[in-house]
Amino acid sequence: MSSVYGKILLVSTEEAPLVTFLKELMRRRKLLPSQMAAELGFSHATISRWLSGADIPKIASCHRLAKYSGVSLEKILAIVGHLPEIAETGPPDWPEFREYARQKYPAELDEDLITMIEDLIERRRGKKYDAGKNS
Q: What pLDDT was estimated at residue 102?
A: 82
- The residues near 95 (Cβ < 8 Å, ≥ 6 apart) are 70, 71, 103
pLDDT one-digit tens code per residue, 36-46: 999 999 999 99
Percent of the chain with pLDDT over 90: 39
Query: Which segments of the chain does DSSP mark as H helices, in order?
Result: 17-29, 33-40, 44-52, 59-69, 73-80, 97-104, 111-134
Query: How confident is the prediction for the chain on average, in pLDDT?
Result: 81
Digit-coded pLDDT (tens) for 47-94:
999 999 999 999 999 999 999 999 999 999 999 988 876 555 555 566
